[in-house]
Copies of this chain bind each other. A is one copy, B any other.
Amino acid sequence: MGPYPNSCVVRTPEGTCFDLLSEEEKKLLDDNMVEVFYKKGEIICKQGSFASKIIFLAEGLVKVYLEGSPKNLVLTITPKNNLVGLPSIFEGNNTFLYSVSPYVDSWAKLIDINVFKQILRQNAKFASKIIDILNENTAQAYGRFFCLTRKQLHGRMSDILMCLSERIFKSLEYELPLSRNDLAELTGMSTESVIRLMKEFKDDGLIEVSGKKIRILDLQRMRKISEVG
């Protein structure tokens, strides 16, 4: 299958990009920012709607997805301390490319897009850092692209389970805030297939499942499955 380090769905926290701003710029940002609470399942931003804000996720866990009937396509999962919505800000486009919705109760800071753009145009170090973030994002999207178009069910399933373990919960055991249906839109398969595969993985001694709790038992074999596709 080849070495694709990033078939993962999860964006890593970009840390300190705001440290590169001057005091003045920080104040400008603060003055043009509101903090909003979103409940699980609400819509933070809607694909196709007017993109007037950049979203900084202060707390929570969200999915970034393309709407499709009957099933959405999840582009990435973004944990707290990440920017969401950056790719929507290019010239000539003023609508969100995707929808964003929280898996769990979340806090978002909404930054006025024009203020953000203005700072980009005047602070090269900051802009340069944003380029880094965008590119890392893209690298991940490509890996995922490959995963969803080239791997089959087993590979996709083990990719997701490992990714959630490594990138989000930082533990081999975690309590999933996602439904089987959420996993289905994440892996691009039917809900029934998710269920069947989880059972198969469990029967094969790869994972342990009890309710929402998942524990990875045999990481080595999971990696193998991911590689083979």
Which residues of chain A have a CB within 8 Å of any CB of chain B?
1-4, 48, 66-69, 71, 73, 75, 86-93, 97-98, 117, 120-128, 130-139, 141-142, 145-146, 148-150, 188
| From B123, B125, B131, contact of A131 by CB (8 A) | B131
Taking CB as reference atom, which chain B residue is nearest A136?
B90
Taking CB as reference atom, which chain B residue is nearest A117?
B128
**Judging by beta carbons under 8 Å apart, are A145 and B75 in contact?**
yes
Expressed in whole angstroms, the Cα–Cα distance for A88 and B6 within the complex equals 13
20 A-B pairs whose Cβ atoms sit less than 8 Å apart in the complex? A3-B48, A4-B66, A68-B150, A73-B145, A73-B149, A87-B138, A88-B135, A89-B135, A90-B131, A90-B134, A90-B135, A93-B136, A97-B138, A97-B139, A123-B124, A130-B131, A134-B134, A141-B141, A145-B148, A148-B149
**Closest 9 A/B residue pairs (Cβ):** A90-B135, A127-B127, A124-B124, A87-B138, A90-B132, A87-B135, A121-B128, A91-B132, A120-B128
Most buried by B among A2, A91, A124: A124
Expressed in whole angstroms, the Cα–Cα distance for A145 and B146 within the complex equals 9
**Judging by beta carbons under 8 Å apart, are B138 and A141 in contact?**
yes
Expressed in whole angstroms, the Cα–Cα distance for A136 and B91 within the complex equals 8
Most buried by B among A71, A135, A148: A135
Q: Told that A88-B135, A89-B135, A138-B141 touch, could you supply 14 new A-B pairs with CB distance under 8 A?
A: A2-B67, A66-B142, A66-B146, A73-B149, A73-B150, A86-B135, A87-B139, A92-B136, A97-B142, A121-B124, A121-B125, A124-B126, A127-B128, A138-B138
